């Protein structure tokens, strides 16, 4: 059997010569939940989701918050999305990471991240594409499943 066939076959075996690259941190393309992105306007939010179930503050305020079932949106003063937090599998990242999935799914995509709160087990993937943007995964009480996925560019 020619040696190139042996090499191809070995690379298919677990622990063979070829292995998958280690996961890297998320990129800016992951800064979206359910089709909404950081910096989307209030008009875009209303167009995609309709009127919110609840609000806190007033449009144009620095702390204007929109609440939809399973999705919380913080807006900036000029009326752009600053932060998104999903607690529903309806609102997932573009790569398909959703609340309710095993925490292992985040690690498979982006590695271990940084656990910045030992008590809660929250995992942060910060400095996305060398910016202040971050993606945060909060586990449920068992620390085995994703309770929420949040992202922001403060």
Would you say 123 and 137 are in contact if contact means Cβ atoms under 8 Å apart? yes
Domain boundaries, the chain: 21-152
pLDDT digits (tens, 9 = 90+) for 63-81: 799 999 999 999 987 889 9
Can you tell me whether residue 53 is helix, strand or coil? coil
Continuous H helices in 13-151: 42-49, 104-110
Lowest mean pLDDT among 11-15, 38-42, 67-71, 116-120: 11-15
Report the predicted TM-score, pTM, of the whole model to 2 decimal places: 0.80
Q: Which CATH number fits domain 21-152: 3.30.160.110, 2.40.10.10, 3.30.70.2190, 3.40.33.10?
A: 3.40.33.10
Q: H-helix or E-strand containing 32?
A: strand 32-33
Q: What's the CA dihedral at 146, 94, 107, 13 to 10 degrees? A: 130
């Amino acid at each position: 059997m020619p040696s190139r066939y042996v090499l191809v076959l070995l690379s298919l075996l677990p622990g063979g010569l070829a292995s998958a690259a280690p996961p890297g941190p998320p990129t800016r393309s992951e800064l979206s939940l359910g089709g909404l992105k950081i910096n989307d306007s209030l008009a875009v939010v209303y167009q995609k989701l309709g009127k919110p179930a609840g609000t806190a503050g007033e449009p144009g305020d620095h702390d204007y918050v929109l609440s939809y079932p399973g999705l919380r949106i913080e807006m900036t003063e000029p009326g752009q999305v600053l932060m998104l937090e999903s607690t529903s599998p309806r609102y997932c990242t573009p790569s398909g990471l959703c609340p309710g999935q095993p925490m292992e799914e985040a690690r498979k995509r982006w590695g271990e991240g940084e656990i910045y709160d030992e008590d809660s087990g929250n995992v942060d993937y910060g400095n996305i594409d060398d910016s202040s943007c971050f993606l945060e995964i909060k586990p449920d009480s068992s620390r085995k499943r994703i309770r929420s996925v949040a992202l922001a560019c403060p």
